Amino acid sequence: MSAERSSAATLAAFAAVLAALAGVALAAGKTAVASGGVAASPPNVETMIVGSNGSLLLSARTVVAGRATVRAGHNACAVAAATPLAALAAGRRGGGPGFALRDYGRCGSSTANSGELFVYSIGGETNSGQSGWEYKVDQRSGTTGAADPSGPMGNGVRLRSGDRVLWFWCHASGAGCQRTLAVSPAASKVSAFGSLTVKVTGYDNLGRGAPIAGAIVTLGTDFASTNARGRATLLAPAPGRYALAATRPGLVPSFPETIVVR
């Protein structure tokens, strides 16, 4: 083999190795996006806003938590997609309540500079003392600003489709905010006029759950109060799709769960 042919063969082999490495890097990049960060398209999340007296300022609905632009004082601030503030802005675009922000950083056209935006008023209810607006993602309070690009827990993971983002008025105490409710049915489908057992759990800021006694659960026209173990039994209505929900004075109402009655 001539020196020229030997050199060409070596270069070809080297090029093949580079192509293989590029393929591995591309696959790793796709895996990283899928497993830990922001999806290629904005996520569909369920959001709800609960005011200081427990009333709904925005009933539970699914929104697209896409990139948004919000105002803090005289500044227009870019908000990254898949953040709790992006979900709040999406709710506002869908007819939800307005909100007001303060910027403790230097927000602007880059989403990287919006991590210190602070929501201090929603629907005309403005923070007072230690009480005010708080957000949770799937029952756990966020540890970062609502527009922080590092995600609600500061670990690089932003919102993903199917997450629930709750904005609620926190009545602050030494134990933190009041608990937020979640209702868990024994089944998502039930026969008409059959019984359905449900459990109501209340979650603290850290996402730690405890059974809630005295919560009122509703399904269609039927309702019941939970016992000491947080359980109740309801009678299913006529066939159809119904919302199952739980409330208790002083606590934040649950997201509704869909029950199909056959």
CATH number for the domain spanning 210: value is 2.60.40.10
In terms of domains, do 155 and 184 share one? no
In terms of domains, do 165 and 244 share one? no
62-113, pLDDT tens digit by residue? 999 999 999 999 999 999 999 999 999 999 999 999 999 999 999 999 999 9
Q: Which domain holds residue 205?
A: 180-261
Nearest to 182 by CA among 227, 212, 153: 212
CA dist., res. 230 & res. 224, Å (int): 11
In terms of domains, do 53 and 166 share one? yes
In terms of domains, do 192 and 237 share one? yes
Residue 30 lies in a domain: no
SS3 state at 63: strand
Q: How far is CA 132 from CA 141, 214, 242, in A?
A: 13, 26, 32
Q: Domain end: 170, 194, 222, which one?
A: 170
At residue 175, the pLDDT reads 83
198-239, pLDDT tens digit by residue? 999 999 999 999 999 999 999 999 999 999 999 999 999 999
Nearest to 249 by CA among 216, 222, 217, 225: 216
Phi-psi region of 64 (alpha: psi -120 to 50; beta: other; left: phi over 0): beta
In terms of domains, do 80 and 194 share one? no
At residue 1, the pLDDT reads 41
Nearest to 44 by CA among 70, 65, 20: 65
| Total-model pTM | 0.83
Count of structural domains, the chain: 2
Q: Is a pLDDT exceeding 80 seen at residue 187?
A: yes
At residue 141, the pLDDT reads 97
Containing 181, the helix (H) or strand (E) segment is: strand 180-185
Residue 199 lies in a domain: yes
Higher pLDDT, 14 or 58: 58
In terms of domains, do 57 and 153 share one? yes
CA dist., res. 83 & res. 48, Å (int): 15
Residue 68 lies in a domain: yes
Mean pLDDT score of the chain, rounded to an integer? 89
In terms of domains, do 161 and 236 share one? no
pLDDT over 70, % of the chain: 85
Q: From start to end of 31-179, where are the E strands?
A: 44-50, 56-64, 68-72, 75-79, 99-103, 117-122, 125-126, 132-137, 140-141, 164-170
Q: Domain end: 138, 170, 202, which one?
A: 170
CATH of the domain at 48: 2.170.130.30
